[in-house]
Structure 1
Amino acid sequence: MTRVISTTVNNIKTFHITAENALPDKYGDRANRRIGSHAELKNRISFIQEFEFTGSSRQVHISRDCLTVAVSGEYPPQIKIFDLPDLSQTTVFSVRRSPAHFEFLTDDWSKLGALRGDRKFDLYTKGGIFASISLPIRCRNFVYNPPTADVIMSSEDSQLLRLNLELGQFVQSIPACAQNGNCVAVSDVHQLIVCGFDDGQLEFYDPRDKRSLAAVDLGSEVTQVAFNKSGYKVAAGLSTGDVLLFDIRSATPRLRYSHRNDTPINSLAFQNNDKYLLSSDSRGVRIYSLENEGKFYTSFETKSQLNHMIPFPDSGLIFAATDAQKVQTMFIPELGPAPRFASFLENLINDVEAEEQDGTPLYENMKFVTRDELEKYGGGHLVGSSALKPYMHGFFVHRELYKMIVSQNEGTELEDHLKRTRMEKKEEAEKAKIVAQRKAPKKDLGDLEVTENDSKRKAKKKMQMVNDPYYLD
């Protein structure tokens, strides 16, 4: 369960679905009375079930079919897979060491690659770990290029390692101009490779002839790189908190801005058909509008240290891995609509805004019920009315109305139960009655009647004759 908090920067609202522990509704009215009307304890909604770790989360990635989200975290080191249409956890991969980087290798989550800091590259399938490959050189980051089936890794030895998954072996490496590669990216359009190094070099490579095409000195350590959807622009994040946007046809940056926190950039992403550029450091996320000459759009911060963020494609939803136990989720309506699997966020935002206007706490004195539960208690006719607020797979209903519906249904059930009990008791009483056994009239046996003067032998003979059907009328 979570609660919603809104922040406003540059007149753009960001709704934080903040992760906090919730009091289960099973504790009943007594516990709810103790809570009272405290907004931080009352106003809670649930998003993705078990979207958390016992320690912290490190990275979050979304599959290309937009149906799965994977998150790495600790402790113990794990990679959790979540199904977005069902808003629930699918499986958990236990890893020996928290991966430095991982990615989906297919459009769905059937194949996944994870790079560990101990010179190991792990391949996962839906059944678990498939193979663990030893690397000849320590690598820091990798990217998968589907057209060539190459896993391209930035190493610490002036080269880019290439592991071909179709051949199942390492192929010719790409020589680099600098020593330690921090990050690498590849364009889905023209397969151009870009790598950032710790000495400030940003180098481009052609995968066809395995050589360097151009290099740009940015002056500070490059920590993140990313291509846009068209493949003509590339963004680079520096250790100083600066972000530079290049056109691949020019060595002069088209845009440069700073987070002003002197902390390294840990994530870069283009959003909504390259209209926005998102960047994050350990403090928060800044968003710039590229269609408006690179002007500042909005920003937000997280309470815990932010390790990685990724926006859901073509929407205003953003996932963030932080040092908090739960994975953070933010929603910016002006950035884009809510995804189909989280369409309930639109209604939620309207309720939050109504709360801010009239001061009524969100979902105060309301209870969540499923459609089946509503039908069971005879409240199906309320579906579609203002008495119910649709939410996920059910509805929110006022507690007083819920109690009235349940009490009416329980009253009918009580009457049926009492009537059934009376009938059962009546049947048991009828069965328990003692029926008087009437004795048959005594027959006149005449000479066959046993008298006191008869001997035992004679009496026995008379009894046999009495019981003989021949002598019975």
Structure 2
Amino acid sequence: MQVSSLNEVKIYSLSCGKSLPEWLSDRKKRALQKKDVDVRRRIELIQDFEMPTVCTTIKVSKDGQYILATGTYKPRVRCYDTYQLSLKFERCLDSEVVTFEILSDDYSKIVFLHNDRYIEFHSQSGFYYKTRIPKFGRDFSYHYPSCDLYFVGASSEVYRLNLEQGRYLNPLQTDAAENNVCDINSVHGLFATGTIEGRVECWDPRTRNRVGLLDCALNSVTADSEINSLPTISALKFNGALTMAVGTTTGQGKIFTSLEPEHDLNDVCLYPNSGMLLTANETPKMGIYYIPVLGPAPRWCSFLDNLTEELEENPESTVYDDYKFVTKKDLENLGLTHLIGSPFLRAYMHGFFMDIRLYHKVKLMVNPFAYEEYRKDKIRQKIEETRAQRVQLKKLPKVNKELALKLIEEEEEKQKSTWKKKVKSLPNILTDDRFKVMFENPDFQVDEESEEFRLLNPLVSKISEKRKKKLRLLEQQELREKVMYSLSVRICYCFFNVMFSL
């Protein structure tokens, strides 16, 4: 398992590590686990979670029990049972799959869209029916109320196939030259399609009319963005009734975190109601990532939550701890722009990753006074350590000092009483965030000369007079402490300056 962190978001790569061949004996596997650290840290959630060559698409059934993935070569589909953590079945296909959709809660009804314009229907027992669409398809969605399949692709038309009647209906005519992706809102049934011109068209299936148009290409271009081509729509997904996520080919949008596997990604699937991501890669092994910020682990692998909590308690070095992220402006300041394109810099988003040791060496050469700054920081740190060994005074706020001193004395009396007998403890006003403004803002200063204060406090008790005297003594002591601290800082600075020069 490999841990990486970006934007303070931990990502656990569960599929990282070496896979052991099946023909190895148990004795040799145990020997490899003792010798090789990568093999020992390997976590195999599902057995044989891979394809012979490449995985193209991956999806999870609605009940969360089955994971289906397609790949090549030979074109095939594999179904994995999460309850058994193993492969359930495998079926070979005639051509490669562009995408597929699971119509039922389990794997009993599946529709495949092939790259040769064929649409293939599978039941629980296997192949059921095959038909063809006029143009090459790129994506499709299923509208449950009307039993219609909406296909988009290399055409301006959206083809509709009704599964109840078993025939094609009149297509929807869009204003785009081609459509890349589509999705149907599960709440109100709105159909949306993303075009190559960077627009999102929304259609009402009941009236078969367009009800909205969103120009994402125009809205995503800002003054700071660097775009070399037209931002076409590459991803589209509804979230609830009023929220929709749109992805473009140029990567416009705010980044929460990112994954950078060793191989290219073909498809990404989020396990429902969890923080687990499943990826189809340009490699036989399919990727499994766990991001605790997105949600908990699925029920069939709930031990991942305990595992990540243990790793948080015993932190280890992550993937990017030995690397420094620098922007192009940072490289210009360091004079390292000539390293762009070399193995010393690895391009990542809007900058580069470079070795932290190389970064420190170059920074020391560029800034020769860095050692002087380091020495001053060490001297300041030593002074703070010596100061912490002194007797700590009661630190009072700037506003309402007498009230704060009264609350501190009451808190000390309360602690003495709780030592003798059990007393129900009440929240302290000094530590409560709701009342911190009362000790920070001068507008909340208690005016003892006002008429309201005299009416509420007609008699000045002897305790308040003692408290005022104590407050004056504390202020004088605090002033002396500041003077002594300034003198000690000068003495310590001279002493450590001499020591460092020697």
Partner of residue 202 from structure 1, selected from 200, 219, 237? 200
Distance 2:198 2:41 in 1: 47
More divergent stretch after superposition (119-128 vs 213-222) = 213-222
Deviations 1:291-347 (A, max 9, x none): xxxxx3x33321111111111111111111111211100111232111111112234
Report what 1:239 is aligned to.
249
- CA positional deviation for 1:42: 2.2
Partner of residue 312 from structure 1, selected from 253, 271, 292? 271
Distance 1:34 1:92 in 2: 30
Indicate yes or no: 2:344 matched with 1:334: no
Report what 2:71 is aligned to.
73
Distance 2:29 2:286 in 1: 27
- CA positional deviation for 1:99: 0.9
Report what 1:290 is aligned to.
none
Distance 1:7 1:358 in 2: 9
Partner of residue 261 from structure 2, selected from 302, 326, 341? 302
Answer yes or no: is the 8 Å Cα contact 1:315–1:335 preserved in 2: yes
Deviations 1:207-229 (A, max 9, x none): 0111111222333211111111x
Report what 2:118 is aligned to.
120
Distance 1:34 1:189 in 2: 52
TM-score by length of 2: 0.57
RMSD after superposition: 2.3
SS in 1 for 2:258: strand
Distance 2:261 2:163 in 1: 38
Answer yes or no: is the 8 Å Cα contact 2:14–2:44 preserved in 1: no
SS in 1 for 2:170: strand
Indicate yes or no: 2:224 matched with 1:226: no
Answer yes or no: is the 8 Å Cα contact 1:173–1:210 preserved in 2: no
Assess, with a 3 A threshold, how the Cα gap between structure 1 residues 142 and 33 changes in structure 2: closer, same or farther: closer
- CA positional deviation for 1:349: 2.8
Report what 2:8 is aligned to.
11
Answer yes or no: is the 8 Å Cα contact 1:22–1:44 preserved in 2: no
More divergent stretch after superposition (160-169 vs 170-179) = 170-179
Answer yes or no: is the 8 Å Cα contact 1:175–1:210 preserved in 2: no
Report what 2:415 is aligned to.
none
Assess, with a 3 A threshold, how the Cα gap between structure 1 residues 201 and 24 changes in structure 2: closer, same or farther: closer
| Higher strand fraction (1 or 2) | 1
Deviations 1:55-111 (A, max 9, x none): 111111111111111111111111111111111111112111111110101121110
SS in 2 for 1:341: helix
Structure 1 residues 339-350: aligned runs within 5 Å? 339-350=298-309
Look up the equivalent residue of 1:235 and give its one-letter code. A
Distance 1:7 1:231 in 2: 34
- What percentage of residue pairs aligned between the two structures are identical? 27
Partner of residue 192 from structure 1, selected from 190, 193, 200? 190
Distance 1:182 1:30 in 2: 49
Look up the equivalent residue of 1:16 and give its one-letter code. S
Distance 1:325 1:155 in 2: 28
Distance 2:167 2:102 in 1: 19
Distance 1:64 1:34 in 2: 39
Report what 1:322 is aligned to.
281
Assess, with a 3 A threshold, how the Cα gap between structure 1 residues 152 and 30 changes in structure 2: closer, same or farther: closer
Segments of 5+ residues of structure 2 without an aligned counterpart are 218-230, 319-502
Distance 1:138 1:36 in 2: 52
Runs of 4+ in 1 over 3 A off after TM superposition: 23-37, 350-359
Report what 2:418 is aligned to.
none
Assess, with a 3 A threshold, how the Cα gap between structure 1 residues 25 and 128 changes in structure 2: closer, same or farther: closer
| Higher helix fraction (1 or 2) | 2
Answer yes or no: is the 8 Å Cα contact 2:15–2:44 preserved in 1: no
Which structure has the larger Rg? 1
Report what 1:211 is aligned to.
209
Look up the equivalent residue of 1:239 and give its one-letter code. T
Distance 1:30 1:122 in 2: 44
Assess, with a 3 A threshold, how the Cα gap between structure 1 residues 193 and 21 changes in structure 2: closer, same or farther: same
- CA positional deviation for 1:23: 5.8
Segments of 5+ residues of structure 1 without an aligned counterpart are 243-255, 258-285, 287-295, 360-473
Look up the equivalent residue of 1:41 and give its one-letter code. V
Answer yes or no: is the 8 Å Cα contact 1:151–1:165 preserved in 2: yes
Assess, with a 3 A threshold, how the Cα gap between structure 1 residues 354 and 43 changes in structure 2: closer, same or farther: farther
Look up the equivalent residue of 2:262 and give its one-letter code. K
